[in-house]
Structure 1
């Protein structure tokens, strides 16, 4: 969704701890391209994670169903409200931009910082409708919402955040460099909710695909796997809501049972992946493969549905659910030590993401290898094949080639945008974190 109105966009440079930087001139307007360059430079120069926060007019049409809603009493909504209120007292630009109470806040995490909390946790979702395009929520990868905007840096605005369970009290950066706003709790909560929303969107898409596949297959065992994984959502949703309100997780939530079911599904995905890799390794290198032989190791690979594709979607679902759990565990870990919440959060998140990133990358490699295979003519004594046999072979070849479409084996870490819609009553909706560029 884009905003065609020419507008002045206040932008803050937020740090997660006291840092000193130079070269940032507060008050000078800049373009979106200049802002992107500034983020990259600050990420390199600063010793602590630095992000930028923009405030845009709230679009007239917005699908809030894609995000995670938080009421005005939630820590994220309170930190954001306090931050904006104090900033508006010292900046006319901020006061004008936020006067309506309804705004779209866009936090951009530079690629270097995004890599600290897991390189694979936010990946672009390739759009089949446009070559090289990616799906977006509110602000697309080309920055069109910012194309007609003038960015004005705001500095020296100290947010009056409270320590609570989210982190240290926010305040002005130490003297000696350009004044940045230290807002560790605000950054932590925005990143945590945005990443969780991103993982939940992946879960919803996997559920849609699996439901269609299982309706065709009618395989009870796969249906049971699907039901057990889908049943984990309730416990994860409750745990997410509780942690985002700085509560404590308890056994009654059922999160332990959900984690066990997810880990079991990931174990099955690992074993299936090993079989797929072994099957591909056993194929004669550089030689055409008969479709029948390929289907024995990858059942239904030549069809729209098939067991192989159901196994793929079950693996995607398990990964998406596990990513949400990992975010919860990282937030809980960060809230346990309020001295440096963002550092604790990123450390815990990155450590647990490694297995998931490796699993996804290995599945992607299998799909790329499959898509590159050449199918052989069917074995038989007849020198001529029927039209149906030829059509089936051509159709199968096309479907197998498309397995590699949009697959990113080792995607480059990009800047990550987290968009937060703030309502007049102070409540917020946090949308899935998305890569700013492909």
Structure 2
């Protein structure tokens, strides 16, 4: 068990371009709170995105299956190795922390950069067995905090020298301000890209699990076909991800075009269903209770544990998760084709499609909130008294419908984005799903 209360953690300040900022970090130790303040100030003062990178001991138990593995020859792994090697030459703290070759690295990107990359990427991803919780590699199971008591020390005055594998801008010390500010656009870009791709794939896995359970109850062939077509896109996306992150070129033989067509078709279906749901809600009388029979005509199965409506919701979530992963691939490809404008190209390419997905997710969340706020009326009938079964069904339906709003994010404020990277002794890495840094 790692005792983070006694840990001294090296931290690098990484820029994505040549920037001039005041020398704020200094050479002395910092608390986690002070580091968070430093990130906020740097984000406000710098013209280019500023990230921080910490290195922690590798935990004994680590679920590598949640992340995306990259071998030591991949650009991300090489950029990270180069930063470690150069920093260790001038910093005893960095040399000691990285001497074993393995470690758990945590990159934090400021909120204003995360906002450019799409709100949907940085929303919390609930973990099994922890209602509303997130479980990252650094989360202490007892305190729920990430390395809460660590002391952070700037990792020397040296920067990584030269770009690796032609991934873009040359790394080095920033031209002005603090000498500890490292220009490392390729490292930041690749970490964000892989972390976001892993996050989107985790969302895909969650949706697949839910859809499979719902379809087992429904036995609806048409919905099963929709599910199969979407799930069949994963192979092409996985291969394209591996090729791009190793800086290869995408070819027609991968089948990515067919996968994108299937995803866009599913998104179109989600848009049409969303319009029908919104229209049905608009037709309900304001401030009046609604009979369950009226509601189930437009939202079949909404009063039950499964149902067509809930399957439609999960199919939409699956299509959105797959599309987000494709968007990251397209952004990486665009950025790598324009190495002189690495990070800005990445952000611009990603932002365009993310906005549409954010709007779709937000609109679906609005439907769920409106449904959860409805009051159910007792059924109309000639009998003045209802059976116990009818009363139980009405109460159960009301409970399930109210719970529709539980999973809706009430606060869409963007937080700092954290990407955790496990590095093995051979230089290979596993990048875990991006998550809010405050988790």
Q: TM-score range by the shorter chain?
A: over 0.9
Using the TM superposition, name which of 133-142 and 298-307 deviates more: 133-142
Give the Cα separation in 2 of the matches to 1:13 and 1:121.
Answer: 23
| TM-score normalised by length of structure 2 | 0.96
Q: CA deviation at 1:129?
A: 6.2
The equivalent of 1:69 in structure 2 is 69
Matched, 1:44 2:44: yes
Offset from partner CA, 1:107-165 (integer Å, 9 cap, x none): 0011111112112222013569667x521221349872322211001243211342544
The 3-state SS of whatever aligns with 1:339 is helix
The equivalent of 1:324 in structure 2 is 325
The equivalent of 1:430 in structure 2 is 431
Offset from partner CA, 1:235-282 (integer Å, 9 cap, x none): 000000000000000000000000000000000000000000000000
Query: Does the 8 A contact of 1:165 with 1:336 survive in 2?
Result: no
Label 1:399 to 1:328 Cα distance change in 2 as closer, same or farther (>3 A): same
Q: CA deviation at 1:228?
A: 0.1
Please give the residue correspondences for 1:328-367 in structure 2 after superposition, counting only pairs within 5 Å: 328-367=329-368
The equivalent of 1:115 in structure 2 is 115
Q: CA deviation at 1:27?
A: 1.8
The 3-state SS of whatever aligns with 1:146 is coil
Query: Does the 8 A contact of 2:23 with 2:177 survive in 1?
Result: no
| TM-score normalised by length of structure 1 | 0.96
The equivalent of 1:85 in structure 2 is 85
Q: CA deviation at 1:406?
A: 2.7
The equivalent of 2:136 in structure 1 is 137
Q: CA deviation at 1:186?
A: 0.4
Is there any run of 5+ residues in structure 2 with no aligned partner, and where? none
Using the TM superposition, name which of 404-413 and 329-338 deviates more: 404-413
Q: CA deviation at 1:4?
A: 4.1
Matched, 1:397 2:398: yes
Query: Does the 8 A contact of 1:19 with 1:48 survive in 2?
Result: yes
The equivalent of 2:382 in structure 1 is 381
The equivalent of 2:270 in structure 1 is 269
Give the Cα separation in 2 of the matches to 1:309 and 1:9.
Answer: 45
Please give the residue correspondences for 1:178-327 in structure 2 after superposition, counting only pairs within 5 Å: 178-327=179-328
Offset from partner CA, 1:94-113 (integer Å, 9 cap, x none): 00001111100000011111
Label 1:4 to 1:151 Cα distance change in 2 as closer, same or farther (>3 A): closer
RMSD over aligned Cα atoms: 1.7
How many pairs align?
Answer: 437
Label 1:129 to 1:208 Cα distance change in 2 as closer, same or farther (>3 A): closer
The equivalent of 1:21 in structure 2 is 21
Label 1:143 to 1:167 Cα distance change in 2 as closer, same or farther (>3 A): farther
Label 1:289 to 1:60 Cα distance change in 2 as closer, same or farther (>3 A): same
Q: CA deviation at 1:167?
A: 1.2
The 3-state SS of whatever aligns with 2:186 is helix
The equivalent of 1:159 in structure 2 is 160
Give the Cα separation in 1 of the matches to 2:381 and 2:216.
Answer: 34
Query: Does the 8 A contact of 2:207 with 2:317 survive in 1?
Result: yes
